[in-house]
Amino acid sequence: MFDQNELRFEMVQLLDENGNGDEQELASFSDEFLVTLYRWMRKVRVIDERLLKMQRQGRIGTYAPFSGQEAAQIGSVLALRKDDWIFPSYREIAACLAHGLPLAQIFQYVRGRVMGRKMPEDLNIFPTQIIIGAQTLHATGCAWATKLKGETQVSVCYFGDGATSEGDFHEALNFASVYQVPVIFFCQNNHYAISVPVHKQTASRTIAQKALAYGMKGVLVDGNDALAVYKTMKQAVEAARNGEGPMLIEALTYRLGPHTTADDPTKYRNAEEVEQWKRKKDPLHRLRVLLEKRGLWTEEQEEAWVAQVNEEVTEAYEEATANETGSIVDVFDYVYGKPSKLLQEQQQEVARRKQRKEVR
């Protein structure tokens, strides 16, 4: 008889909550890399906090904050090549920025502008996916195309624990494993899919162990340990690039803020739980402690960096709001590479209706 207790996944961790770890292991990371990693994490924390305030001020639309998940996103995306593909959900702004997306375009997106969804031609990022779990299929398809074309890019799909309850997730993993395509499924298990805790999403001990059912490798990593995330993703990407097939990574982390600005998390989780993750498990804290031990970061550097990022945010917002062009008619231009006849007819009809409305 099958015993689920035999499915044991040890969590990969290099830095504990106090910034301590095996010195020999930590020595493999250069000072330059550690500073770059922390600067990115601190940068996106500032950006996230500013975006949250801007939403409350009515300057942007509904927003999904990601504070608490910086190590998972930045640690994973820095392990990629520039030409690797990423498939984000609505909470992966940090990963998109670190992969090259201009901050001004983020503002266009959160302000509901059409151009906010049009990715730069030289950037391998698919448009943000709002439908839960749908990007798993897109990533699998892209990876399959990459394999058929003999290319070397790897596709990385980001999603939350709630997405593992969707049929798309299971179909994508099954297909990816059967065809051995170069895709990494990166689950940020932040404990809550809106108000639903992870233990109501699945009865399995971990999300990582679901990989076994599909014949692929699964890894559980401390999602608040940026170094462990980087190392895990680096190994997964290299394996996929070398034709060893897909992998499922579960990054155990925590969403410090609300699901979106339309959510009230106090209705489904207690303040003590949130405070514990803020005070003891903040991903920025443990990495900064390591930097300070090595003499690589000071309070003066922190203040200067935060001030610089705040200036960048202000400039990007002003740039985005000064160039808000486009209309509902333009939406049809970014659905398919080559628009179908039906799509063209719909666009023409919308244009006629818009013109009649403006004439009146």
> Among 197, 204, 198, which residue's Cα sits nearest to residue 270?
197
95 vs 78: CA distance, rounded Å: 9
> Among 20, 66, 72, 69, which residue's Cα sits nearest to residue 286?
20
Q: Which long-range contacts (CB under 8 A, 24 or more apart) does 264-269 make?
A: 265/192, 265/195, 267/195, 268/192, 268/195, 268/197, 269/192, 269/197
C-alpha atoms less than 13 angstroms from C-alpha of 224 in its C-beta half-sphere: 24
Contact 286, 18 (CB under 8 A): yes
Look up residue 211 and give its two tokens.
């990989």
Question: E-assigned strands of the chain?
Answer: 85-87, 155-160, 183-189, 192-193, 196-197, 217-222, 247-252
Catalytic residues: 255, 259, 268
